[in-house]
Structure 1
Amino acid sequence: MLPLVFTVLVLYSCFLTSGSCDLYDELKELKTEFDINLYQRLAEPENRTNLIVAPASVSISLGLLQFGARGNTFMQLENALGYNIHDPKVQDFLHTGYEEVTNSSQGPVVQLACALFVQAGVHLSPDFIEHTALWANSSLQKINFSEPNSTAAQINEWVTGNTEGGEADCIHLDTVGSPLTQMAVVSTMYFKSTWQKKFSFTDTQSLPFTTAEGVTLKVPTMYHMAEVNYGQFHTASLERFSVAELPYLGETVSMFVVLPSDRRTSLTQIESHLSAKIITVWANSLKRMKMDIFLPSYGAIKKISNSYLQSRQTFSLFPKACQYRDKQESYHL
C-alpha cells in the first residue's frame, strides 16, 4: 500500500468507446486532441487558478454550426474540429458516443444540450433546421435580440431547464445587447455522479496544501483507501509524474489525477506534455494498486466567451460576419 497525496486536479476526460475500426479510432483521437487543445489554450492565462472545462459542450456547438456553414466559416470549423460533420460515418460516431454517455442508467447523470437562438424573421434552410432537430439534443428557438432583457431571460430559462435547475444567470445583458446579433449558440453539459468508492465525509480533514507560489495552506481534504489504476511516467524532458484513475459510479466515466513527482516541477510543464496519444498510453499502462488517496475538495466557476476564445487564438471562428449556406448575406454570431 502506497501513501499518495494528490494535490492538483488537472484534467477530466470522458472517453467514447463506440466502434473499433480505424475510422472510429481516428475520430476518438481527433476528439481527444480537440479537448486537450481547448484545455491548454484556456489554461495558459489561468495557471494560478482552478479551471474546469467541458470540451464536449463546445464541440457540440461547433458541430451544429458546421451543418449550416459555408466558405471560410466552414473551413475554420472543420480545421478546429478535425472532421467534416456532413460525413455520415462521422455523424454516426458522434451520435453513438453521445447516446452511450447520456443514456447510462446505472452510471453518472450526463446531459448534453445545445440551442440555436435565431432572430425572428431570419430564414434558415429546411435542411439545416432538420439537422438542428436531430443533433445531440439540440433545439431551434426564435428570439428578438433587440430586446436584451427578454432575450437574456429566455436564454437563461433554457439553461436552467437543461441543467437540473442549475445556474440561472449565466447570460447577461451585455452579452446579447448587440443590435447586429442574429444568432446565439448556447450549449450546456450537466454532470452528476458519485465515486465508484465514495469518500466518507467523516474522513475529510484539514491538511497542508502547497500552492503554485509555494505557499502552504490548510484545506479540506478527502480520504479513502482503494484499489485504483495507477502509473508513473515522465515527459520528454524527464519531468516525472504520477497518474491515478478514479472511476465514477458504473466505471463508464473516470477522472485522471496527475501529480508531479518533484514539487519543483510546475504543473504547466506536465500540461504541455499532454496529447491524445499520451492519454491513450496512460489508459493502457495503468496497473491496479491499493493505496491511500488524499484529494482536496475543489470547485471552480469560470465564464469564457467566444471573444475570449478568439483572443487566445484557440481558433478564429468568430469574425464579425459568419457565412452560412442558402443565404447571400452573412450572420453576426
Structure 2
Amino acid sequence: MENLSPLQKACWLLLLLFPILAQAHASPPGPVMADAAKQEFARRLALFSINVYGKLAALKPGENLVFSPFSIQTCAAMARLGADGETAAQLDQGLGLASANVDQIAKSFNQVLATYQDSQILRIANKIFVMDGYSLAPQFDQLLSKEFLSAAQKVNFASSSQAAATINGWVEERTNHLIKDLIPASALNADSRLVLVNAIHFKGNWVHQFPKYATRPDTFHLDNERSIQVPMMSVKERFRYADLPSLNAAALELPYKDSDLSMLIILPNSKTGLPALEEKLRSTPLSVITQALQKTQVQVKLPKFKAEFQIELSEVFRKLGMTRLFTNDAEFDKMLETPEPLQVSAIIHKAFIDVNEEGTEAAAATGIVVRKKRCVISLDEPTEFLADHPFTYVLVHQEEIPMFWGSVVRLEETASDISEHEEL
C-alpha cells in the first residue's frame, strides 16, 4: 500500500455572506435521534438534494456536477437560526427542515456533525467570521458552538483583502489545500457583518480497489453520435446491485473501507437517458433504490475522472422559494447582540473530485453508460455494469443521508493516461 499514488482529494465548500443593508452605509455529541427522526432527516435532505441538483443541471447544462447537499443545508441552517418571520419560514420550506424550532433544527444537524467530529475520512468544519466591534446574539452563538461545532472569529471586513485572505486560508486548510481563493476581496467591504462557512473534505479507499493493470482505453459515449476514448477502470467482485425498471436504469454501490459511506452510481440504460432519469429521481426516494440493492457478482467498468465545479448559489435558492433573505426585507434579527438590518449578498460553492483505482474523495462521477445483462444472475456469468455514458451518483451515508451528489455527462480524452496504460 505504501507505493500507491496519493488518493484523490475531493472537497466541498459553501459560503454565506451577510452584509448590512445598502441603505445603512456604503462539543460533546448531542442525544441520539430516534430512528424515525433520522429517517425523516435523511428523506428531507434527499429531496432537497434532488431539487438543488435539478436547478444546477438547468443552470449548467452539459457540465459535470458535484456538490454537497449536506453542506449547503448545514450552512444555510446556521443562517436559519438567526432568522425570523417570513425569512425563517421560507428557509424552513426551501431547505426542507423538519421543524421550525431552532433547538430542534440545531440538534438534528448535530447528529451527523458529531458522528464525524473525529473522523479521519470525512472532515466537516463550520465557522462564522464576525466584523470587528460586533458580537453574536448569545442564543445564536450558543447554538452554533454547541450543536454546529462552529467557532467564531473576529475580522475587519473593511480591510477586504486581508479579511478575504483570512477566510480563504481557513478554507484551504480545512480542504487539504484543494479549495483556494474561494472569496474574492471584492465580495467584502465595510458594510459586511458576518460570513458563515462550511467546508467538507472526504478521502476514502474502495473496499474493492480497481487493479491498475486492468485500466485500459475504452469508449465513452457522450450521446448517440459522439464518443471518445478514456481510461476505463475494471474490477469483478460481489457488489450490491439492482436493476431498476421503473427508472429505466441500474444502480451499483461501491463501498469505502473503514467507513459508513459508499458511492451509489445510478446508470440509465440509454446513452441519452440521464435527463429522464433525473426527472424520475425527483419522485423516487433514495431508500427505494438502496433497499432494492442485492449482493451480486458484477463486472464493473468505470472511467477515471476528475471534476471541478464552482457556482454562486443565490439563483438556486431563489428558484427554491428562498427569496426574502436577499432583499431589504430580510429578517436576521437574531444574529447580532445589537440587531441591525442584514441580508444575504452571496452564496458561493466550489467543489473538486478525483476518482481513480484506489478510491474517491467527495462525490462526482464521469458520464458513464451501463450495459447490463438481462438474464438470470449466476456466479459463472456476472452481471455487467458498464459506465460508458452519462450517469449520476451519490456519496451516501448508510442511513441514506446524501453527503455529496454529482453527475458525469462528459469526459475529456487524456492521451497521456491512455498511453501510460497501453504500456502496462
Shorter-chain TM-score range? 0.7 to 0.9
1:229 alignment counterpart: 240
The structure with more strand, counted as a fraction of residues: 2
Which residues of 2 match residues 157-172 of structure 1 at below 5 A? Answer: 157-172=169-184
> Which range moved further: 182-191 or 136-145?
136-145
1:54 alignment counterpart: 68
- Alpha-carbon separation, structure 2, partners of 1:193 and 1:314: 35
Contact in 2 for aligned 1:180/1:332 (Cα 8 Å)? no
Which residues of 2 match residues 73-152 of structure 1 at below 5 A? Answer: 73-83=87-97, 84=99, 86=101, 88-104=103-119, 109-152=121-164
SS, match of residue 163 in structure 2: helix
Equivalent residue for 1:25, pick from 39, 42, 46: 39
Compute the displacement of 1:81 (Å). Answer: 2.3
SS, match of residue 259 in structure 1: strand
- Give the 3 Å change call, closer, same or farther, for CA 310–78 of structure 1 in structure 2: closer
Kindly report the root-mean-square deviation, in angstroms, between the aligned alpha carbons of the 2 structures.
2.4
TM-score (norm 1): 0.84
Q: Does 1:291 align with 2:313?
A: no
The structure with more helix, counted as a fraction of residues: 1
SS, match of residue 301 in structure 1: strand
Compute the displacement of 1:273 (Å). Answer: 1.0
Which blocks of at least 5 consecutive residues in structure 2 are unaligned?
1-31, 345-424
- Alpha-carbon separation, structure 2, partners of 1:89 and 1:74: 14
Q: Does 1:269 align with 2:276?
A: yes
- Give the 3 Å change call, closer, same or farther, for CA 19–135 of structure 1 in structure 2: closer
User: Identity over aligned residues, as a percent?
Assistant: 23
For these two proteins, the number of residue pairs brought into alignment is 308
* 1:111-134 Cα deviation digits (max 9, x unpaired): 111222222223421111111212
- Give the 3 Å change call, closer, same or farther, for CA 173–209 of structure 1 in structure 2: same
SS, match of residue 280 in structure 1: helix
Contact in 2 for aligned 1:181/1:331 (Cα 8 Å)? no
SS, match of residue 304 in structure 1: strand
- Alpha-carbon separation, structure 2, partners of 1:27 and 1:332: 27
- Alpha-carbon separation, structure 2, partners of 1:314 and 1:110: 31
Q: Does 1:316 align with 2:316?
A: no
- Alpha-carbon separation, structure 2, partners of 1:332 and 1:325: 10
- Alpha-carbon separation, structure 2, partners of 1:311 and 1:65: 16
- Give the 3 Å change call, closer, same or farther, for CA 158–195 of structure 1 in structure 2: same
1:9 alignment counterpart: none
Equivalent residue for 2:311, pick from 304, 314, 317: 304
Which blocks of at least 5 consecutive residues in structure 1 are unaligned?
1-17
Which residues of 2 match residues 8-23 of structure 1 at below 5 A? Answer: 19=33, 21-23=35-37
Compute the displacement of 1:201 (Å). Answer: 2.1
